[in-house]
Amino acid sequence: MIRQVEKYRHQLERDGAVRQGRVALVAQDDLIREAGATDLCRIGRALLSEVKSIALVIGEPWLPFQNLYPLCLAPESQRIAPLDTETRTFLHDIPLVRRHHGRIDWADVAGLLGQRKGVLVEGVGIIAVGSVTVEQGYVNFSTLYHALFVGYLLHLLQDEPRCAEIVELGPLLEQLAHPIPQLLDDIAAGPFADEHAVRKAIEQAGQRTVELHLVDSFFGNISCHVNNQLMISQTGASLDALAGCVDLVPDDNSTTAGLTASSELPAHRAIYAATGATVILHGHPKFTVLMSLLCDEQGCHIADCWKDCPQVRYLGTVPVVAGEVGAGGIAKNLAPVMADGIGVVYGHGVFAAGTVDFRQPLHKMIALENWCRREYQRLLGQKIAGHEKSGVKSGSR
């Protein structure tokens, strides 16, 4: 188990989700194993002894949400509702534990961790648990991080951020200044000679998607359509470790051995049927996800936009539609708008297709994410500029 603990600590730092050196993993079965920052390990150990889980991850996100959310939420608010749809499905909401008289009630934190997959603790960071594996703790941490990131960055555009928040945004502005590189030259060129070549290409493209941070943790899915069958990544598979995790699903369903295929199988199938594409890549690039949530429609009466919005909206030239995961409508809504081989699902992620190999979808996905970053940067710039002006006028808050 110590290998797992080390692996996922390393992975969290590599993912860029946490500040370097400010994460810890603690796991227990008959023995306690831990890795990471000593002070965080100590907190983790104490909590894990109270919670019936095998692993606990505690870390400070690189944008200090543990300080920012308490500032931007109403003082009595103790829940953060994720806006992105995938997180909503799996987390419902995220408890926020605040300091009272400068202190954290750790018993409260332990109690919440017994009920939920993770919490945000004021001044401390994100804490997530894995009930049966270390990997689960890592995945839950990443999912919380993704939800908090999307929610907070959206707040920056939609509400009036305080000065105390704006001063914390340096790292964000720094990140926005660096677009994701189009690292594609070594990506296997199609058409692929045989099944083996397809598998290798899938593994490579999956790996690259993770390396370029086009997903948080390693979720997303990928497929190739050849010889009347789909080769598609399995549900819950790590995009950066797809060897042995690709299922064969014949178009005529003549076998159900692909029962473990990705939950987005219906979406992949519908896109192939509608477009004549041969490869599809699906990821959750953060800025694309959050920009897809921006909507300036006035007087709209729809409450559950993520599933009920009937409109096709656009990020630049890329269409955005609503729809829930799996059997929930992505397939139906997305396939008709995929003529250019790329489409976004509201608050969820991108499906990008190609006709030859994975260079095309990777290229499209990176280009879109970079467009969304630039757009976000522009809007945030306006917001900050407006803030500074009003700050000068009225004195800072």
Partner 1 sequence: MNKVTPPRNLAGWCGRLLIVDLTHQKSWVESLSADLLHDSIGGRGLGVRLLRDTYQLDPFSAAMPLIFAGGPLCGTIAPASARLSVVSRSPLTGTIHASSCGGAMALQLKAAGYDALKITGVSAAPVLLSIAGDQVQIESATHLWGLPVSNTLAALKPVGGAAIIGPAGEHQVLYANIMTAEGSAAGRGGLGAVMGAKRLKGIQIAGKKPVVVADAEGVERSVNDIMRLLNAAPVIFGELGFAEYGTPALIDLLAQRRMVPTNNFRETFFAETSRYAAPALRRRYQPVSQGCHDCPIACKKATRDQQRLPEHGSLSHFGALLGISDLDIIVAACRLCNDLGLDTLSAAATIAAFSEASGEGIRAEDLPHRLGQIAMRQEDGDLLAQGARRLTTALGCPHLAMTVKGLELPAYDPRGAYGMALAYATSNRGACHLPAYPVAHEILRKPVASDRFDFAGKAWMNIVAENTHVVGDSLVACRFVFLAAGLEEYAALLTAVTGVDFTATQLLAGGERIWLSERYYNQMNGFTSADDMLPERFFQEPGSSGHGISIPAIDRQRFLDERARYYRLRGLDDRGQVPSHFLENRL
Binding residues for partner 1, per CB under 8 A?
1, 29-30, 51-52, 54, 88-90, 92, 111, 114-117, 131-133, 135-136, 139, 234-237, 245, 249, 253-263, 265-266, 269, 324-328
**Residue ranges in 367-396 that form contacts with Zn ion under rule CB under 5 A:** none
- List the one residue from 118, 349, 354, 361 that touches Zn ion (CB under 5 A): 349
> Helix 106-113 vs helix 38-48: angle between axes, to the nearest 10 degrees?
60
Shortest reach from residue 284's CB to Zn ion, in Å: 6
Asked if the peptide bond before residue 64 counts as cis, ω within 30 degrees of 0, the response is no
Minimum distance from residue 61 beta carbon to Zn ion (Å): 21
- C-beta of 44 vs 130, nearer to partner 1: 130
Q: Which two tokens stand for residue 229?
A: 């069958």
Binding residues for Zn ion restricted to 220-239, rule: CB under 5 A:
none
* Amino acid (one-letter) located at 359: R
- Least distance in angstroms from the C-beta of 344 to Zn ion: 11
- In the list Zn ion, partner 1, none, the entry touching 174 (Cβ below 5 to 8 angstroms by class) is none
Residue 280 · residue 341 · CB < 8 Å? no
The sign of the torsion formed by the CA atoms of 172, 174, 179, 180 equals: negative
Q: What residue 182 binds from Zn ion, partner 1, none (CB within 5 to 8 A, per partner kind)?
A: none
Residue 67 or 133 with smaller CB distance to partner 1: 133
- Picked from Zn ion, partner 1, none, the partner binding residue 349 (CB below 5 to 8 A depending on kind) is Zn ion
Closest CA to 175 of 343, 37, 368, 372: 372
Torsions phi, psi for 24 (to 5 deg): -145, 145
And the tokens for 369?
A: 């994410």
Minimum CB distance to Zn ion smaller for 190 or for 349: 349
User: Of 105, 119, 117, which is closest to residue 53 (Cα–Cα)?
Assistant: 117
Q: If DSSP codes are grouped into helix, strand and coil, which group holds residue 131? A: coil
Minimum separation from the CB atom of position 314 to partner 1 (A): 26
Residue among 203, 369, 224, 352 nearest 282 (CA): 352
11 or 85: whose CB is closer to Zn ion? 85
CB of 366 to partner 1, least distance (A): 27
By a kind-dependent CB cut-off of 5 to 8 A, residue 362 interacts, out of Zn ion, partner 1, none, with none
Shortest CB 210 distance to Zn ion, Å: 14
d(CA 392, CA 94): 36
Cα end-to-end span (Å), the chain = 49
Q: Which does 35 bind (CB under 5 to 8 A by kind): Zn ion, partner 1, none?
A: none
The entry of Zn ion, partner 1, none that residue 165 binds, CB within 5 to 8 Å by partner kind: none
Nearest distance from residue 273's CB to partner 1, in Å?
Answer: 12
Nearer to Zn ion, 70 or 347 (CB): 347
* Strand 94-97 with 118-121, pairing: parallel
CB of 249 to partner 1, least distance (A): 7
Amino acid at 236: G
Helix (H, G, I), strand (E, B) or coil at 320: strand
Tell the smallest beta-carbon distance from residue 221 to Zn ion (Å). Answer: 7
Closer to partner 1 at the Cβ: 67 or 263? 263
Minimal distance, residue 322 CB to partner 1, in Å: 14
Nearer to partner 1, 234 or 311 (CB): 234
Q: Considering beta carbons, is residue 70 or 328 the nearer one to partner 1?
A: 328
Alpha helices in the chain (DSSP H): 2-15, 38-48, 65-72, 85-91, 106-113, 134-158, 163-166, 170-176, 195-211, 265-275, 286-292, 305-308, 330-334, 359-394
Nearer to partner 1 by C-beta: 268 or 373?
268
| Partner that binds at residue 139, options partner 1, Zn ion, none, CB closer than 5 to 8 Å by kind | partner 1
CA 103 to the chain's CA centroid: 31
Binding of residue 190 to Zn ion (CB under 5 A): no
Which residue, 251 or 388, has its beta carbon nearer to partner 1?
A: 251
Angle at 116 between CA 52 and CA 4, to 5 degrees: 55
Give me the residues that bind Zn ion (CB under 5 A), please: 349
